[in-house]
Amino acid sequence: MTRLIVAAGGGGDAVASAMLHAALYGDEDQAVILTYAWDRLLVDPVPGPRGADSFTGLEPLTRSVWSVPAEAQPIAPAGSTLPRLAAELPHTLALLDPQHGAEGITRQLEELVDHLSPTSIDLLDVGGDILAQGDEPTLKSPLADALTLAASCQVNAPVRLLVAGPGLDGEIAPEILRPAFGPLVHTFTAGDTEAVGDVLEWHPSEATAMLAATARGARGICEVRDAGLPVALTDEGSTVHEVDLDDALSRNALARAIMTTATLDEAEAHSREVCDFSEIDYERNKAAWLTEQPSTKLDPADVLSRLDEFQAEARARGVSHTTFRHITEALNLNGCHRDELRQLLIRSRPEQYAAPLWRIPADD
């Protein structure tokens, strides 16, 4: 018995897929998780998603689908969290490759369905931006989700769309998403997070980190991303809802526009037309800016001093939690310092580590 889970938006959704499998299917045969190799620039300095030609050591599953074993390696200068995920998760990770647009992803899904004859197919999105119309001012990363939605709607097999952690990606507010929700499928608990506990200690996904944190009881306001977006940590944050696939497509103008795209460039052009931007353009601009920044060393005393200033300002904004990615950027540190910074903070102030988030103390 094989379950197929499509991680709609990338590596964080792949981690959440493992948590979902443990919660819903327990000790059944493990899943095949189809996921992008599309990491943030602090992991992969090359903008956009990686294709099969960006790795060594991939293994063929079908004609168009490659699995990513622990031994696989991204080809420099590219980076990827997938090989390490493969080493730490008990599932097969398959590379979702958008280089041939929605048509290519549809082909990948059809081949996997024929090859696996899966017991179920779940399309999982953490946050809910897969339900975006395309014109929301807070929308930041619609393309990956739109591609998987467009492809899933064209597969001749039943696909169940699940949205976990409404609003946790900081893109679409929960109150906008609720009218689209069908049945409540599950509410994650602290026990459900044990399946990915070790992964969350190093994986950079903010939305999935907050999903796990709300399951563990964290409540308040969490600042995320480089811009410091405030995200509410509520009881709703640990829920998983089913959404009708056709209804999702009727909402998502970008998904409808890219259904017959044969290249990623073509899909990206539609994103510029429908949403007035492309997240890959944003990554290109930020990557160019990052290359111009001088390399620095992490000075512990200086970092802790600036952390105190940051926390005082965050506390004044009503913030109770933040992510290590946001702290890294707020302190103007290079992404390569994220792990070192995390270890320094946990070692220096362990009482503030609300795994996998960082807690802002109410007062000094």
102: tokens are: 């929605």
d(CA 87, CA 91): 9
Residues 237-257 have a mean pLDDT of 98
Query: Which residue reads 């160019």 in tokens?
Result: 288
Grade residue 336 by pLDDT with cuts at 50, 70 and 90.
Answer: confident
Residues 161-186 have a mean pLDDT of 97
In 3D space, the residue among 6, 68, 52, 8 whose CA is nearest the CA of residue 33 turns out to be 6
d(CA 20, CA 164): 9
Helix (H) / strand (E) containing 285: helix 279-291
Give the burial class of 155: count Cβ atoms within 10 A of its Cβ; 0-12 exposed, 13-18 middle, 19 or more buried.
buried
Amino acid at 234: T
Structure confidence by residue, pLDDT tens digits, 284-335: 999 998 888 777 788 999 999 999 999 999 999 999 999 999 999 899 887 7
The gap between the terminal CA atoms of the chain, to the nearest Å, is: 54
How open is the CA angle 280-150-60, to the nearest 5 degrees?
Answer: 80
Predicted TM-score (pTM) of the model is 0.96
Query: What's the distance, CA 146 to chain centroid?
Result: 14
Q: Can you say whether residue 297 is alpha, beta or left, with left for phi > 0 and alpha for psi between -120 and 50 degrees?
A: beta
Q: How many residues does the chain have?
A: 364
Q: Where are the domains of the chain?
A: 3-257, 300-359
Q: Is the pLDDT of residue 156 over 70?
A: yes
Which are the contacts of 130, defined by CB distance < 8 A and separation ≥ 6?
A: 8, 9, 123, 145, 146, 148, 149, 161, 163, 248, 252
- Give the β-pairing of 321-322 and 229-233: unpaired
Q: Is the Cβ–Cβ distance between 241 and 182 less than 8 Å?
A: yes
d(CA 23, CA 332): 38
To the nearest whole percent, how much of the chain has pLDDT over 70? 100
d(CA 289, CA 255): 30
Residues 239-267 have a mean pLDDT of 98
Residues 127-138 have a mean pLDDT of 96
d(CA 119, CA 29): 10
What was the pLDDT predicted at 347? Answer: 96
d(CA 23, CA 31): 13
Q: How many CB atoms lie within 10 A of CB 338?
A: 21
